[in-house]
Copies of this chain bind each other. A is one copy, B any other.
Amino acid sequence: MSNLQKEDFSAWYIQTIKQADLMDYSPVRGCIIFKPDSYEIWEHIQEAFNLRFKEEGIRNAYFPMLIPESFFTKEKDHIEGFSPELPWVTEAAGEPLEERLALRPTSETMIGTAFSDWINSYRDLPYEINQWANVFRWEKKTLPFLRTSEFLWQEGHTAHEDEASARERTMRMLEIYKETIEGLLAIPVYSGQKTPSERFAGAVDTYSVEAMMKDGKAVQAGTSHYMGTKFAEAFDIKYLNRDNEHVLAHTTSWGVSTRLIGATIMVHGDEQGLVLPPAIAAKQVVLVPVGPWKKKTEILERLEVLSKDLKAAGVRVLIDDSDNSPGYKFNEWELRGVPLRVEFGPRDLTNNQVMIKMRDIEGKEAVSLDGIVESIQTALADMQTRLLETARKNRQQHEYTHIETLDELKEHIENKRQEGETPGFVLVGWDGTDETEEIIKEETGFTTRNIPFDPIVEKKTCIVSGKLAKHTVWLARAY
A466 at the B interface (CB under 8 A): no
Given contacts A28-B68, A66-B31, A101-B28, contact A59 B86 (CB under 8 A): no
Roughly how many angstroms separate A26 CA and B68 CA in the complex, as a whole number? 10
Per-residue contact bits, chain A 111-125, to B (CB 8 Å; 1 contact, 0 not): 001100110000000
How many whole Å from A91's CB to the nearest CB in chain B? Answer: 5
Chain B residue contacts of A81, Cβ below 8 A? none
A43 at the B interface (CB under 8 A): yes
Q: Using a CB-CB cutoff of 8 Å, which residues 112-146 of chain A contact chain B? A: 113-114, 117-118, 129, 133-134, 138, 140
Given contacts A84-B94, A87-B93, A93-B84, contact A64 B28 (CB under 8 A): yes
Given contacts A34-B62, A134-B65, contact A92 B101 (CB under 8 A): no
A27 at the B interface (CB under 8 A): yes
How many whole Å from A40's CB to the nearest CB in chain B? Answer: 7
A457 at the B interface (CB under 8 A): no
A positions within 8 Å CB-CB of B = 24, 26-28, 31-36, 39-40, 42-43, 59-68, 71, 83-94, 100-101, 103, 110, 113-114, 117-118, 129, 133-134, 138, 140, 150, 152
10 contacts between A and B (CB under 8 A): A26-B114, A28-B66, A31-B64, A33-B61, A36-B61, A83-B94, A87-B91, A90-B91, A92-B138, A93-B140
5 closest A-B pairs by CB: A31-B64, A87-B92, A36-B59, A34-B62, A93-B138
- Given A34-B61, A36-B129, output 6 extra A-B contacts at Cβ < 8 Å: A33-B64, A35-B61, A83-B94, A86-B93, A87-B93, A89-B103
